[in-house]
Homo-oligomer: A and B are copies of this chain.
């Protein structure tokens, strides 16, 4: 920990510089706002407002809080107008509503309009909640706890569970702050996480009423109805538990600084496939032009759809993964490469006369069919199977499986299939991803 702190604590110069830049932006924003809506105010939020940013982070988040009775379209119009005035080189992005993002003195600045509501329970959109979070955390953090939050954030980054985005589905910055506060520091938090027995529920403000079906529940101190950890999946809870134990057992700075994993070469992939003797099939297509939080749920759903399809067809997926850069890839590794030409098909019990007779007559004279014969009390046939190999299945049925809507659109435009050793070709775009796939770790 003593070795990590200097690497995550901002230097005095960095703090001073950030304070100055933030003040300037706030002043400029106040000026641009008060001339238009005198009742509005301006507030710095996020980790740089809370003193919990990790050394080198250069994000300044400024919220412009308008009166709650302002119509939404006016709030949006004014937010954009002020944003462009303060950040002339900025561009618009979209969360709950549009905001302006730009750089100022080499800092990344978000200028976000929201409503200034009295209580967190009165919020009109999710961003209205952010100022309450900042106020809550600021009131509870002293310098020591803020330093431990930085350690905690770096640790969660290092073990790849940091971030509430939908590719990670892990721990948000606010969640890490709450956990560090609630457990009174980094080391105790790690010790507690190591011993968690999910489902785990924390309620820092002791005001929760709703119950949540999540492995980890942290009731938002500013909103009793909200689980701050709602996005965290069981994998990420388990991963945090695993790495907390490892850190306690064998403390090392490595745990805090993930090297991204080693990439693999074509030859490595082929060596792994020889060692595994599995039957991978991959589908490569143009990645839909979506932000990650829209793209990843679609890729996840599409991968699951493909795996379920291959499973129904009898090829027994062992493991699979989706990759995305300019192209996207759905990779499924099958245990079974080939099925017989025939498949067993059970008919009705013989005593269910109507159905049984139809079944029997349907198959009795078909020379491609073995049977009908009787097993137990039922007719059974062995009839020609539709797909003997994963490739046959994918070629005929890929568009019949459950797919994300934009993934489907791209697949309709075209895709390429890679089978067995051919997937080594994918290292040209996905050598890191394949590296992680063939060296799976917690």
Contacts and interface: CB of A to CB of B under 8 A. Distances in A.
Interface of A: 194-198, 215, 234-235, 237-239, 241-242, 245, 275-279, 314, 318-319, 335-342, 344, 349-351, 353, 356-357, 360, 370-379, 382, 388, 438-442
Contacts of A375: 235
Given A234-B376, A360-B242, A198 B351 contact: yes
Q: Count the copies.
A: 2
Given A245-B357, A350-B241, A371 B277 contact: no
Contacts of A335: 314, 339-340
Contacts of A197: 351
Contacts of A275: 341-342
Nearest to A350: B238
B344 A377 contact: no
Given A197-B351, A350-B238, A442 B374 contact: yes
A218 B278 CA distance: 55
Chain A interface, DSSP helix/strand/loop, else mixed: mixed
A374 B340 contact: no
Given A279-B340, A318-B382, 18 more contacts: A197-B351, A234-B377, A235-B374, A238-B374, A239-B350, A241-B350, A242-B360, A245-B353, A276-B382, A278-B342, A314-B335, A318-B340, A318-B342, A319-B382, A335-B339, A370-B438, A370-B440, A371-B440
B351 A238 contact: yes
Contact of A239 (B234, B237, B374): B374
Contacts of A379: 442
Contacts of A376: 234-235, 238
A172 to B, nearest CB: 20
27 contacts: A197-B351, A198-B351, A234-B377, A235-B374, A235-B377, A237-B377, A238-B351, A238-B377, A238-B378, A242-B350, A242-B356, A242-B360, A245-B357, A276-B382, A277-B388, A278-B340, A278-B342, A279-B340, A314-B335, A318-B340, A318-B382, A337-B338, A370-B439, A370-B440, A373-B442, A374-B442, A379-B442
Nearest to A436: B373
Contacts of A349: 238
A289 B254 CA distance: 70
5 closest A-B pairs (Cβ-Cβ)?
Answer: A373-B440, A238-B350, A277-B341, A234-B377, A278-B340
Contacts of A344: 318-319
A341 B318 CA distance: 12
Contacts of A235: 374-377
A162 B360 CA distance: 23
A26 to B, nearest CB: 43
A310 to B, nearest CB: 14
A160 to B, nearest CB: 11
Nearest to A437: B370
A114 to B, nearest CB: 36
A18 B228 CA distance: 95
A102 to B, nearest CB: 39
Nearest to A442: B374
